[in-house]
Amino acid sequence: MDEVSVLVPSKIGRADKIKKVTLGPGPLSLEEFIAVVRYNAELVFSPEYIERVSASRELAEKFLAENRKIYGLTTGFGENVSRIIPQDEAVQLQVNILRSHAVSVGKPLKREAVRAVWLMQLLSLGKGYSGIRLGVLSLIAECLNRGVTPYVPGEGSVQYLAIEAQTNLVLMGEGRAWYEGELLPTAEALARAGLKTFIPACKEGLCLTNGANSATGLAAIALYDCAVAVQTSDIAAAMSYEALRGNILACDPRLHSLKEHPNQAACARNIMKLLADSGIAAKYKGVRVQDPLALRSVPQMHGAVKCMVQDASRDILEEMASCSDNPILWPGRDEELGLMGANFDGTYPSGAADILCVAAANLGKLVERRVDKLTNRHFSGYLAFLAENPGVDNGYMIVQYTAAGLLNEIRGLALPSTADSIPTCGNWEDPVSMGWWASRKAWYVGKKIEYIQAIEIMTLCRAFDMMPAGEAPFSSATRAVYEKVREVVPPVSGDRHFGPDIENVFKLVRDGEMIKAAEGVTGTLEF
C-alpha cells in the first residue's frame, strides 16, 4: 500500500509532539491532522497550496463570465439544479445555502470535532479543483490558529450538509462561537480575534457545505484513538501476563507461524519483546498448560483488531488526501470544464468508521475480561477486587463495572450505520451514506475504548503493588509504564474517589504516554 494510506507504527501516539503543520504539497499524515485538531498545532499554507487555490478561483471566474451551465455556480442546488440563477442573484444564492442549511440540532460538538470539520475542508478545497477564494480558506485557517470555534449542534445530519453549514455560518459573522473560553455572538468572537467576516462569492457557499469532510474528520479522530488504544493494549497484555502469571508460550513464534495473519504474529512478537527481561514471565513459562482466552488469545484477537484498524485506515487516509467537492472545476490543457458527479459521497470514510466501531467492540470484550480476571479473587490470587481490606474496602469492584458499562455502550454503537439510507431532497438524493452518524459513533467509541484501556492499566498497576514480596522482577518495559502511571496516580492504601484516577490514566493513554514509556525501552513496536 502507498504510504499515504497506512498507519506508521513509529508515529502512533505522537501527535502531541507536532507543533506546526503545513498544508501542501503532499498529503497530510494522520498525526499531523490530530496535532491541529486536538493539540492546536499552528497551521500554514505552502506556496503550492496557495498557487493551486488561486488558479482554481481564476477558472471559476472564467466559467462565470462565460455563463457556463455548471451546478452550484450558475444553477440552483439539489432538485433545483434545472433553475438558472441570474448573476445579480449569485451572491444571495451562496449566502442562502449557508443560512438555510444550518439546521443541525442538539448539544454542540466538542472543540476537536469542529476543528476536524474545518481542517478537512481546508484539505479538500485546497486541492485546487473547487474554485473557492484563498481568502476564505485563510480565514478558516486563522480561526483555527487563533482559537475561534463555532457552536455547532451535532445531531440531525445524514452526511454533512447541516453540520458544515452550521460550522461555516460563523465566517459570515452569524451564529455563535467560542473564543478564549467564552461563547459569544460570532461577530464579537471574530472581532476579538482580530478577524473580519466575508461574503461568499459564486460557488463558495456550496463549497462550504459540500463533501465528505465532516464524516472524514471525525473518522480520522476515531482512527487515531483506536490505533493508540490497540497499540497500548499490547503493552497492557504484557503487563497482564506478569500480573496473572500467564504462560508466555501462547506467544511462541512457532505457533503463530502457522497462521497467515501477519498482524497476529506481530502482536506476539511485541509481547515477547516487552517481556524480554521479565523474571516473572520466565518463571511461569509453561507452569499452566494453558490460560483462559483473555490471555491465551491475545495475539489472535489483538492482531485481528489491528487488521481491521489498518483496513479502515486505508479508506480514511485516502479520503483525507482526496477532493470531495462537487462540481469539480477541471483545468485541463485541452478542455477546461465543470465535472458534476458524486465525489461528496461519504461511503468510504463512514464505512471505515463502522469498521472501527466493530474493531473497538472486539478489543473491548477482551480488555474488560482481563480487568475482571484481575479483580476476581477466584482467579487472580489477589485479595478481592484488589482491595486493601476487603469487606470494609470495595477496592476496584466498581471500576470493573465502569469497564463493563463502557463496553456495553460500544456494543450498542457498533451496529453499522452505512447499511441504512433515507432519501432526501425530493428523492433527488436517493441513496444516502448516513455517514455523519457512522463517524460520530466511531468518534464516541474511540474515546470509550481508551477509557477501558486506561482502567486495565490502572488495575494492573494496583496488582503490581500487591505482588508478593520476593517475586521475580517485572520487565523493564512494563516497569516503565508502571512508573509513568504512578506519576499521576498514587498507590492505593484504601478506598478513595477513583474517578479522578481513571481520568488521569485516560489522559496518559490518549496522549500516547503508555506507548512512549514502553517503546523507550523496547524501541518501536509493530502494528
pLDDT-derived band at 277 (thresholds 50, 70, 90) equals very high
Q: Name residue 155's beta-bridge partners.
A: 105
pLDDT-derived band at 313 (thresholds 50, 70, 90) equals very high
Q: Please state the pTM of the whole predicted model.
A: 0.94
For residue range 74-120, list pLDDT tens digits in order.
666 665 666 666 767 778 888 998 999 999 999 999 999 999 999 99
Per-residue pLDDT averaged across 495-499, rounded?
97
pLDDT at 1: 44
Pick the more confident residue, 65 or 129.
129
3-state secondary structure 79-133: HHHHCECCHHHHHHHHHHHHHHHCCCEEEECCHHHHHHHHHHHHHHHCCCCCCCC
pLDDT at 89: 77
With 90 as the cut, is the pLDDT of residue 439 above it?
yes
Pick the more confident residue, 25 or 459.
459
Per-residue pLDDT averaged across 266-281, rounded?
97
Per-residue pLDDT averaged across 375-394, rounded?
93
44 three-state secondary structure: strand
Per-residue pLDDT averaged across 175-189, rounded?
96
Note whether 119 and 36 are within 8 A (CB): yes
pLDDT-derived band at 202 (thresholds 50, 70, 90) equals confident
Q: What gap in Å lies between CA 407 and CA 303, rounded to an integer?
A: 19
With 80 as the cut, is the pLDDT of residue 423 above it?
no
Q: What gap in Å lies between CA 492 and CA 479, rounded to an integer?
A: 17
Task: State the pairing for strand pair 182-185/176-179.
Answer: antiparallel
pLDDT at 398: 96
pLDDT at 78: 61
What average pLDDT does the chain have? 92
pLDDT at 120: 97
Among 38-42, 82-86, 155-159, 415-419, where is mean pLDDT lowest?
82-86
Strands (E), 318-375: 328-331, 336-339
Burial class (CB in 10 A: 0-12, 13-18, 19+), 83: exposed
Give me the DSSP letters along 413-431: HTS-STT----BTTTTB-S
Comparing CA positions, the residue from 317, 55, 343 lying closest to residue 207 is 343
In the chain, count H helices and then E strands. Answer: 21, 9
With 80 as the cut, is the pLDDT of residue 431 above it?
no
With 70 as the cut, is the pLDDT of residue 386 above it?
yes
